[in-house]
């Protein structure tokens, strides 16, 4: 599809006074320099399902939240355009097939499949799933000696009870690490307990325990059932959401000007798109860095919430070997590395795909540090952990994939978490509409299910409903 291109003009960087009514002409006179104007309606002239009112919506971001909102709006008859900053759709659903099999760089599981809307979507598509049983594991200490499952199970119960006691008993917020040290100083220093705090809690939340809110780290909700993976790739779920929708990739949004009467103007590097409503699904990390300028600025409640909610990280190195060097049917391996968060959890892909693939995971502060290194260093570091478990003679993999979500300019992190000083309101207020023409969506706008694909999906549905109600 071709955008209708008007003549290029250079405009002075002058922001109009808030009291002045914005019009298309006023906006263009006071917008950024050297831009091309494009009309959303021109992009969709060949679309038969434009609403009778001619209402249009721009969606910033082609992750699951944005695509869900786009699907619902399109099905309701609205004109929709999705602008995606990167060169591919999916956001933090990113399936990589460079190893010859589907490897999930981002979202890897459907967490709690019972009544989960993502599981329902997978079932509708006939997606093949596999239950990754949490009870199917082997844990090694830092010397490579096996730790008995009985010890892990016993400490697991104590770990769960301690975290539950903290979560339900706090009257004043503090870092979870501080609360553990205060309530159970001896237990919190136990090597097995420390490993669980990282491999379970830091993995689950995406946060270092020294930044995690002791009051709210586990107050979110979950669906029931054991986690499942999508054998043929998580990205296959996106196919029905994208059918017939206008999506432009490599379109990083730089500025959004909005006004209840004049509508919305969304500026990329070279163009301005106009619509009646905009849904912004950019990840929290991008909002934190203020890479998108809002004119006028978002309300103070939204800005404060963006600052207070944390953006976490999880790092993966997926390694494909010529031969199998670990027990074939064991689902997970744990390693009690002495540095917290350092390659202490491993997913064995062999039970659900016919390939010798092992994914190493890092969390918390270590994740942030290791992602500043180059990929070869990350592999070398992960392989040191692998060789502790499976022997010093374990060869390097033939191929590997390493993730660096914190360094990606279009994500700047993996998913949100309850940081010390924030509360559920900070997540949920981000889903509240701004005036009559702007709403945010994404997993960070849904405290109940933050940090999950289904949370992002549900936020997209909510944003679409807000847009439709507002434009009625």
Using only C-alpha atoms, what is the Rg of the chain? 24
Sign of CA dihedral 391, 395, 397, 403: positive
Q: What is the C-alpha separation between 294 and 254, in angstroms, rounded?
A: 9
263 backbone φψ class: left, alpha, beta (φ>0; ψ -120 to 50) = left
Query: For the residues of 400-462, what is the DSSP string, one character each?
Result: EEE--GGG-TTTSSS-EE-BTT--HHHHHHTTS-BTTTEEE-SGGG-GGGTTSHHHHHHHHHH
pLDDT at 472: 85
User: For residues 198 and 344, is the Cβ–Cβ distance under 8 A?
Assistant: yes
Residue count (the chain): 472
Instruction: Give per-residue pLDDT as tens, 291-338.
Output: 999 999 999 999 999 999 999 999 999 999 999 999 999 999 999 999
Angle, helix 64-75 to helix 453-471, in steps of 10 degrees: 40
Classified as helix, coil or strand, 25 is helix
User: Residue by residue, what is the 3-state secondary structure of 99-126?
Assistant: CCCCEECCCCCECCCCCCHHHHHHHHCC
Instruction: Give per-residue pLDDT as tens, 62-73.
Output: 999 999 999 999
Q: Residue 170 — very low, low, confident or very high, per pLDDT cuts 50/70/90?
A: confident
pLDDT at 54: 80
Please give the structure tokens belonging to residue 230: 């999508």
Average pLDDT of the chain? Answer: 90
Please give the structure tokens belonging to residue 459: 């936020």
User: For residues 214 and 175, is the Cβ–Cβ distance under 8 A?
Assistant: yes
pLDDT at 135: 93
Question: Which residue in 83, 85, 48 sits closest to 69, CA to CA?
Answer: 83
Q: What is the C-alpha separation between 371 and 362, in angstroms, rounded?
A: 10
Fold of 103-231+313-414: Polyamine Oxidase; Chain A, domain 2 (3.90.660)
pLDDT for 351 beyond 80: yes
Cβ contacts of 182 within 8 Å, gap of 6 or more: none
Please give the structure tokens belonging to residue 395: 């060869």
Sign of CA dihedral 389, 393, 394, 396: positive
Please give the structure tokens belonging to residue 360: 């190493």
Domain spans of the chain, in order of start: 24-89+235-309+422-471, 103-231+313-414
pLDDT at 10: 25
pLDDT at 27: 45
The verdict on whether omega for the bond into residue 142 sits within 30 degrees of 0, i.e. cis, is: no
Query: How far is CA 319 from its chain centroid?
Result: 23
pLDDT at 374: 95
pLDDT for 470 beyond 80: yes
Fold of 24-89+235-309+422-471: FAD/NAD(P)-binding domain (3.50.50)
Containing H/E element for 278? strand 277-280
Question: Which residue in 316, 351, 355 sits closest to 330, CA to CA?
Answer: 351
Cα distances from 40 to residues 3, 78, 82, in angstroms, run 8, 12, 10
Classified as helix, coil or strand, 256 is strand
pTM for the full model? 0.89
User: For residues 206 and 314, is the Cβ–Cβ distance under 8 A?
Assistant: yes
DSSP state of 20: S
Q: What is the C-alpha separation between 382 and 319, in angstroms, rounded?
A: 10
Query: For the residues of 368-404, what is the DSSP string, one character each?
Result: HHHTTS-HHHHHHHHHHHHHHHH-TTPPPPSEEEE--
User: For residues 2 and 234, is the Cβ–Cβ distance under 8 A?
Assistant: no
User: For residues 261 and 16, is the Cβ–Cβ distance under 8 A?
Assistant: no
Question: Which residue in 223, 218, 219 sits closest to 117, CA to CA?
Answer: 223
Instruction: Give per-residue pLDDT as tens, 370-407.
Output: 999 999 999 999 999 999 999 999 999 999 999 999 99
Q: What percent of the chain has pLDDT over 70?
A: 89
User: For residues 441 and 424, is the Cβ–Cβ distance under 8 A?
Assistant: no
Instruction: Give per-residue pLDDT as tens, 207-264.
Output: 999 999 999 999 999 999 999 999 999 999 999 999 999 999 999 999 999 999 999 9
Cα distances from 350 to residues 101, 279, 325, in angstroms, run 11, 40, 11
pLDDT at 14: 27
| Exposure string for 62-96, b = 16+ CB within 10 A, e = fewer | bbbbbbbbbbbbbeeebbbbbbbbbeebbbbbbbb
Same fold, 24-89+235-309+422-471 and 103-231+313-414: no
End-to-end CA distance of the chain: 28
Largest CA-CA distance found in the chain, in angstroms, rounded: 72
């Amino acid at each position: 599809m071709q955008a209708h291109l008007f003549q290029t003009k250079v405009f002075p960087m002058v922001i109009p006074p808030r009291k002045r009514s914005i019009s298309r002409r006023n906006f263009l006179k006071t917008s950024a320099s050297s831009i091309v104007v494009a009309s959303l309606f021109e992009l969709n002239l060949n679309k038969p399902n434009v609403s009778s009112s001619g209402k249009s919506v721009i969606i910033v971001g082609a992750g699951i939240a944005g695509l869900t909102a786009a699907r619902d709006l399109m099905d309701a008859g609205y004109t929709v355009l999705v602008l995606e900053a990167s060169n591919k759709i999916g956001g933090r659903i990113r399936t990589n097939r460079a190893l010859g099999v589907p490897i999930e760089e981002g979202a890897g599981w459907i967490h709690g499949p019972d009544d989960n809307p993502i599981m329902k979507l997978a079932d509708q598509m006939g997606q093949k799933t596999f239950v990754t049983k949490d009870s199917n594991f082997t844990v090694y200490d830092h010397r490579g000696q096996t730790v008995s499952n009985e010890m892990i199970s016993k400490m697991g119960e104590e770990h769960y009870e301690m975290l539950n006691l903290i979560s339900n008993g706090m009257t004043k917020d503090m870092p979870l690490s501080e609360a553990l040290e205060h309530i159970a100083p001896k237990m919190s220093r136990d090597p097995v307990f420390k490993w669980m705090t990282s491999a379970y809690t830091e993995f689950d939340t995406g946060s270092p325990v020294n930044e995690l809110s002791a009051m709210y780290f586990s107050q979110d909700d979950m669906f029931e059932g054991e986690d499942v993976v999508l054998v043929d790739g998580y990205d296959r779920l996106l196919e029905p959401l994208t059918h017939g929708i206008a999506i432009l990739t490599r379109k990083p949004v730089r500025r959004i000007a909005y006004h209840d009467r004049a509508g919305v103007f969304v500026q990329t590097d070279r163009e301005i798109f106009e619509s009646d409503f905009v849904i912004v699904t950019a990840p929290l990390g991008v909002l934190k860095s203020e890479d998108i300028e809002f004119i006028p600025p978002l309300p103070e409640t939204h800005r404060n919430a963006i600052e207070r909610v944390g953006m976490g990280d999880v790092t993966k190195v997926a390694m494909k070997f010529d031969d199998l060097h670990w027990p074939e049917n064991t689902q997970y391996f744990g390693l009690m590395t002495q540095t917290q968060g350092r390659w202490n959890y491993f997913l064995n892909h062999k039970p659900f795909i016919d390939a010798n693939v092992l994914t190493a995971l890092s969390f918390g502060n270590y994740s942030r540090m290791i992602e500043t290194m180059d990929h070869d260093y990350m592999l070398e570091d992960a392989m040191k952990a692998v060789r502790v478990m499976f022997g010093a003679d374990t060869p390097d993999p033939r191929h590997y994939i390493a993730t660096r979500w914190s360094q990606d300019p279009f994500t700047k992190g993996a998913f949100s978490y309850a940081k010390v000083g924030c509360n559920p309101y900070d997540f949920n207020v981000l889903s509240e509409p701004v005036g009559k023409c702007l709403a945010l969506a994404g997993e960070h706008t849904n405290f109940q299910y933050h940090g999950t694909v289904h949370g992002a999906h549900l936020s997209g549905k909510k944003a679409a409903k807000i847009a439709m109600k507002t434009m009625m």
